Chain A
Amino acid sequence: MSDFQVKVAPKNYDAVIVGSGAGGGMAAYVLAKAGLKVCLLEAGPDFDPAKHSSQMKNPWESPRRGASTKMRPFGDFDASFWGWEIDGEPYTQTKGADHFDWWRARMVGGRTNHWGRISLRFGPRDFKRKSIDGLGDDWPIGYEDVKPYYDKIDQLIGVYGTNEGLENDPDGIFLPPPKPRLHELMFKKAATGINIPVIPSRLSILTKKINDERGACFYCGQCNRSCKVYGDFSSSSVLVKPAVMTGNVDMITGAMAREVLTDNEGKAKGISYVNKMDKQEYQVNAKVVILGASTCETARLLLNSKSQKHPNGLANSSGVVGHYLHDSTGAALGGVIPNLMGRKRYNEDGVGGMHVYTPWWLDNKKLDFPRGYHIEYWGGMSQPGYGFGMGTQGLNGKFQVNGKTKEEGGYGSSLKEDVRFFYGASVGMGGRGEAVPRFENHCKIDPDVVDKYGIPVLNFNCKNSEYEIKQAKHMKETFREIMHEMGAVITWGDQDDATNNYGLSNPGNIIHEAGTVRMGSDKKTAPLNAWGQAHDCKNLFCVDGSVFTSQADKNITWTILALSMRTSEYILDQLQKQNL
């Protein structure tokens, strides 16, 4: 057809990277700083927190007062563009499986615009789970391989926390943490009283200035909106921006990758993509192809990249691309603390997240489930948004308001008094645990469905197992104990039982999914080697959550960053040795 053509970029790059989130952003940063010519493809629009953040807006500056929409599922001020659903980009579910909730951020910086900045290192045990409990597989690398990179990113990006000497929650190079808020002190007192440790959280927020490019935190509590002074970590501000400033990166936004192109020998030669603005087809060639499109998008790209040499999809002679998909487990519970009702007002915003948390503290040998979870604590006198004050009729009949017993419901000045009285008394907690990666849990290409660009979409087939369900049950029991200890009254999350898996989140819902293109030393059971390099295609690398052999009870971003830096340095080394 004469009106349909593919425009091939004239430049042959050293590397083309798909995705500008934690993994892709770090790869672009390392390679560009080393002088490589890089093409960085991002499916969404440009985003620079300094220009585009909703930071410091008041609730009335949103017509919907900060309520969520399909385009901003975590609220109108959250930085992330899109989320569970994207217009024109469907995904499907296998009948009988749990619903897989697939989060996709479409913008420069990817999901680092969304996450809670919780920056936890994996510990030595997290890389060797099979050796400990016989389930899943060991990573082909250990903590000692990744530690130097954790150390580097601690310093490059900045993270606050404390060295506690915990074996599986390794010490790091930390900035000072903020002091606990009032409800956090209450959590700490209650939990430590029943032998559950509570320590300062570890978030990538600059409590002190670390360089001239980024400002220090000024405690607005709004990291999720992204920071105009770059006081927290976003891939856009901390990695992509300095990478582009080297002059070595051509970043193309609105570029939806279609497939990885290969040559006759089966080597990767570039990426074909559709430009969302002009709807035209493009191709960009490079010596090395790096995928950081996100755990499931990267698997989708590989599965959609079929050729004579790679009939099963690229890097997929093992047949495991898309398999071993697993997310963090999640369950939550919350309520009110009568002692916090009618509390004195002061600015309690703090950093954009919790100031304390509980790392996993128990021994699985004494429990009926494998692997652990950490606990996140919520509460405080935060900025009101849509939903604030709703349901006051469920509280004002239950608790005396300023010493008066009231009838449930009401209106008028009395209702205003109630809202003021209950403000800042709500607390909650969530567990984030480690699921066991299993071959059966997978995503694959749906044979019948394409997105609006004609790209075949993913079909999900994931189910929580007894391991995850028992973990959720244990979380709920723990949360109840903590709430009881601190004299709190549970108002939600207490009704869950075996009929709904104890409130266990759908897979995908915690947005920590990993494992679809896992590392392993045996090419028959893992697509990637210990460097994130495809066994089947030596100039193809993955740098996102897809590479994880297992994912620990820790948020995965810090490890994505460390592994991406490690892989990128390996690429530099191998290019120099002309091995690629």
Chain B
Amino acid sequence: MDRRKSIKALILGTVSAGVVIQACKSEKTTVAEYNLDDRMQEEKDYLVKVNAEPTFFDEHEMATITVLGDIIMPKDETSGSASEAKVPEFIEFIVKDMPEHKVPVRGGLRWLDLHSFNKHGKSFVSCTSAQQIGIVDEIAYPKKAKPEVAQGVSFFNKMRDLVTTGYYTSEIGVKDLGYMGNVPNQWQGVPDDVLKHHGLAYTEKELKECI
């Protein structure tokens, strides 16, 4: 009955871009562990296979994703940044897991660099912060954006989606969101002050028959 009780998969991911550049020297990597007790065999086999694949994004792409990620979800007085939340690592995994993201993200990163090169004579990550924000402002507002940067808008929409979802499903993001569940409790109903705020109340029948 108890075959292998617990198999831990080692998910090797690159670290955030600032560190990636140094990582080349130190060969530093981060290791995330996932408990696989709840996985069926085919899923374990699949994870091993995906993690054996070489890294999809090269260092430059990863650095760009990291800079973009931290523009989309920056560190501020409320919470940490996308790179602190390991969003770039999530994106590296998710494009392997959902290969339909591969071309739009890779191609979009390239579009961004070319756009940046045409404008400032250098790649996006080599630009100053002000230049980077200038480029992002061109593509971050779909209704305002000029038609000639439409591909950039699509790319940024995709990056906004991936970064936001990666961020808000991380520990840092869940805390930022204020999600208070996933703990054992006794559901008591909607708090009184919230009911009052919305002008709602439980009926006598509900109070009588509900737990």
A interface list, Cβ under 8 A from B: 44-46, 51-54, 56-67, 69, 71-72, 77, 81, 87, 107, 160, 162, 175-182, 185-186, 189, 200, 207-208, 218-221, 339, 343-351, 381-393, 397, 407-413, 415-416, 419-420, 423
7 A-B pairs, CB-CB below 8 angstroms?
A63-B93, A177-B209, A200-B209, A347-B185, A349-B182, A386-B169, A407-B141
CA A168 to CA B78, docked complex, whole Å: 53
- One digit per residue, 1 when the CB lies within 8 angstroms of any chain A CB and 0 when it does not, for chain B 27-60 equals 0000010110110111100110000000000000
**What is the CB-to-nearest-CB distance from A570 to chain B, in angstroms, rounded to a whole number?**
33
For A218, what are the chain B residues with a Cβ–Cβ distance below 8 Å?
A: 184-186
Known: A181-B190, A389-B168. A409 touches B142 (CB 8 A): yes
For B174, what are the chain A residues with a Cβ–Cβ distance below 8 Å?
A: 58-60, 383-384
**What is the CB-to-nearest-CB distance from B197 to chain A, in angstroms, rounded to a whole number?**
7
A176-B90 in contact (CB<8A): no
B interface list, Cβ under 8 A from A: 1, 11, 32, 34-35, 37-38, 40-43, 46-47, 71-74, 76, 78-79, 90, 93-94, 97-98, 136, 140-144, 156-157, 160-161, 164-171, 173-174, 176-191, 193-195, 197-198, 200, 202, 206, 209-211
B143-A409 in contact (CB<8A): yes
CA A87 to CA B46, docked complex, whole Å: 12
B42-A71 in contact (CB<8A): yes
CA A382 to CA B183, docked complex, whole Å: 12
The one of A54, A60, A349, A420 that contacts B38, using a Cβ cutoff of 8 Å: A54
Closest to B201 in A: A185
Known: A347-B180, A384-B174, A409-B142. A65 touches B169 (CB 8 A): yes
Known: A53-B38, A410-B140. A58 touches B182 (CB 8 A): yes
**What is the CB-to-nearest-CB distance from B66 to chain A, in angstroms, rounded to a whole number?**
15
B165-A389 in contact (CB<8A): yes
For A386, what are the chain B residues with a Cβ–Cβ distance below 8 Å?
A: 165, 169
The one of B140, B156, B164, B187 that contacts A349, using a Cβ cutoff of 8 Å: B187
CA A411 to CA B139, docked complex, whole Å: 11
A381-B164 in contact (CB<8A): no
For A186, what are the chain B residues with a Cβ–Cβ distance below 8 Å?
A: 198, 200
A contact face: mostly helix, strand, loop, or mixed = loop
The one of A62, A72, A182, A408 that contacts B142, using a Cβ cutoff of 8 Å: A408
For A52, what are the chain B residues with a Cβ–Cβ distance below 8 Å?
A: 37-38
A347-B176 in contact (CB<8A): no
**What is the CB-to-nearest-CB distance from A175 to chain B, in angstroms, rounded to a whole number?**
8
For A179, what are the chain B residues with a Cβ–Cβ distance below 8 Å?
A: 187-190, 202, 206, 210-211
**What is the CB-to-nearest-CB distance from A411 to chain B, in angstroms, rounded to a whole number?**
5
Known: A58-B174, A219-B184, A416-B78. A200 touches B169 (CB 8 A): no
B187-A178 in contact (CB<8A): yes
For B46, what are the chain A residues with a Cβ–Cβ distance below 8 Å?
A: 69, 71
The total number of A-B Cβ pairs within 8 Å is 220
**What is the CB-to-nearest-CB distance from B199 to chain A, in angstroms, rounded to a whole number?**
9
CA A473 to CA B98, docked complex, whole Å: 34
B211-A207 in contact (CB<8A): yes
**What is the CB-to-nearest-CB distance from A70 to chain B, in angstroms, rounded to a whole number?**
9
Closest to B197 in A: A344
CA A221 to CA B142, docked complex, whole Å: 37
For A387, what are the chain B residues with a Cβ–Cβ distance below 8 Å?
A: 165
B169-A59 in contact (CB<8A): yes
For A200, what are the chain B residues with a Cβ–Cβ distance below 8 Å?
A: 209-210
Known: A56-B182, A67-B98. A390 touches B165 (CB 8 A): yes
**What is the CB-to-nearest-CB distance from A97 to chain B, in angstroms, rounded to a whole number?**
28
B181-A347 in contact (CB<8A): yes
The one of A56, A57, A347, A410 that contacts B141, using a Cβ cutoff of 8 Å: A410
Closest to A389 in B: B164
B40-A389 in contact (CB<8A): no
A419-B142 in contact (CB<8A): no
B181-A221 in contact (CB<8A): yes
CA A143 to CA B191, docked complex, whole Å: 41
B209-A61 in contact (CB<8A): no
For A345, what are the chain B residues with a Cβ–Cβ distance below 8 Å?
A: 178-180
A64-B94 in contact (CB<8A): yes
B143-A397 in contact (CB<8A): yes
For B182, what are the chain A residues with a Cβ–Cβ distance below 8 Å?
A: 56, 58, 220, 349, 383
Known: A177-B211, A383-B179. A60 touches B171 (CB 8 A): yes
**What is the CB-to-nearest-CB distance from B168 to chain A, in angstroms, rounded to a whole number?**
5
**What is the CB-to-nearest-CB distance from B30 to chain A, in angstroms, rounded to a whole number?**
13
CA A415 to CA B169, docked complex, whole Å: 15
Chain B CB within 10 A, most for which of A208, A381, A386, A392: A386
Known: A65-B169, A179-B188. A416 touches B179 (CB 8 A): no
CA A345 to CA B193, docked complex, whole Å: 12
For B178, what are the chain A residues with a Cβ–Cβ distance below 8 Å?
A: 345, 420, 423
CA A409 to CA B152, docked complex, whole Å: 13
**What is the CB-to-nearest-CB distance from A496 to chain B, in angstroms, rounded to a whole number?**
24
For B98, what are the chain A residues with a Cβ–Cβ distance below 8 Å?
A: 64, 67
**What is the CB-to-nearest-CB distance from B116 to chain A, in angstroms, rounded to a whole number?**
17
A408-B143 in contact (CB<8A): yes
For B142, what are the chain A residues with a Cβ–Cβ distance below 8 Å?
A: 393, 408-409
CA A365 to CA B200, docked complex, whole Å: 36
CA A77 to CA B170, docked complex, whole Å: 16
The one of B40, B71, B167, B211 that contacts A178, using a Cβ cutoff of 8 Å: B211
- Top 4 closest A-B pairs, CB basis? A179-B189, A389-B164, A59-B169, A349-B181
CA A351 to CA B184, docked complex, whole Å: 11
B183-A347 in contact (CB<8A): yes
For B179, what are the chain A residues with a Cβ–Cβ distance below 8 Å?
A: 345, 381, 383-384, 423
Instruction: Please name 18 further chain A to chain B contacts, defined as beta carbons within 8 Å, in addition to the given A182-B200, A381-B180, sorted by A numbering.
Output: A52-B37, A56-B182, A63-B11, A63-B32, A162-B209, A180-B206, A182-B198, A185-B190, A218-B184, A219-B187, A346-B180, A386-B165, A387-B165, A390-B161, A408-B143, A409-B160, A412-B72, A423-B179
A392-B164 in contact (CB<8A): yes
B171-A339 in contact (CB<8A): no
For A419, what are the chain B residues with a Cβ–Cβ distance below 8 Å?
A: 164, 168, 177
For A53, what are the chain B residues with a Cβ–Cβ distance below 8 Å?
A: 38
The one of B183, B190, B194, B210 that contacts A176, using a Cβ cutoff of 8 Å: B210
Closest to B153 in A: A409
B170-A60 in contact (CB<8A): yes
CA A372 to CA B184, docked complex, whole Å: 37
A407-B169 in contact (CB<8A): no
For B184, what are the chain A residues with a Cβ–Cβ distance below 8 Å?
A: 218-220
For B94, what are the chain A residues with a Cβ–Cβ distance below 8 Å?
A: 64, 67
For B176, what are the chain A residues with a Cβ–Cβ distance below 8 Å?
A: 416, 420
CA A351 to CA B187, docked complex, whole Å: 8
CA A66 to CA B114, docked complex, whole Å: 35
Known: A107-B40, A179-B206, A412-B74. A63 touches B143 (CB 8 A): no
CA A346 to CA B193, docked complex, whole Å: 11
Chain A CB within 10 A, most for which of B157, B171, B206: B206
**What is the CB-to-nearest-CB distance from A61 to chain B, in angstroms, rounded to a whole number?**
7
Known: A221-B181, A411-B72. A185 touches B200 (CB 8 A): yes
For B156, what are the chain A residues with a Cβ–Cβ distance below 8 Å?
A: 409
B143-A182 in contact (CB<8A): no
